[in-house]
Amino acid sequence: MKTVENNISIKELKEMSSKMFGNLVKAVVDVQTHVLVVDAELHSDQEAYLLQLGSKQENLWGINIYPDLGKEERIEFDSMINLRPSQNNNSRGVDSEEIQKKILDIVNSKISD
């Protein structure tokens, strides 16, 4: 598991994906602190790690990063940790377009090509 506070390269993400799932890297984003955690088998492990560091549950969102795809296609909003009826998020995706935009802005600002 790796915490990304500043930047991570596409090369690093490709290396991670080849060791774990072949074409994707699981990640959790804290939309409040702009911290990104990558490279774990489960989103829930990354979520638990960020909670231990003081993140709040309502700010954590699970995504998948496909490093072989272009900037516009590389982020997938799909994780069991995103199921939050209490926040009106009733799917494994991220239903709020505002939160999706925050996630995209944070993640894309941290990935260097």
pLDDT tens digits, residue range 3-28? 998 999 999 999 999 988 789 999 99
What's this model's pTM, rounded to 2 decimal places? 0.94
Cα Rg of the chain, angstroms: 13
Which distant-in-sequence residues (6+ apart) come within 8 Å of 82 by Cβ?
61, 62, 89, 91, 92, 93, 94
Structure confidence at residue 20 (pLDDT): 82
Alpha helices (runs of H) in the chain, residue ranges in sequence order = 10-20, 43-52, 97-110
Structural domain boundaries in the chain: 2-112
> 3-class SS at 112?
strand
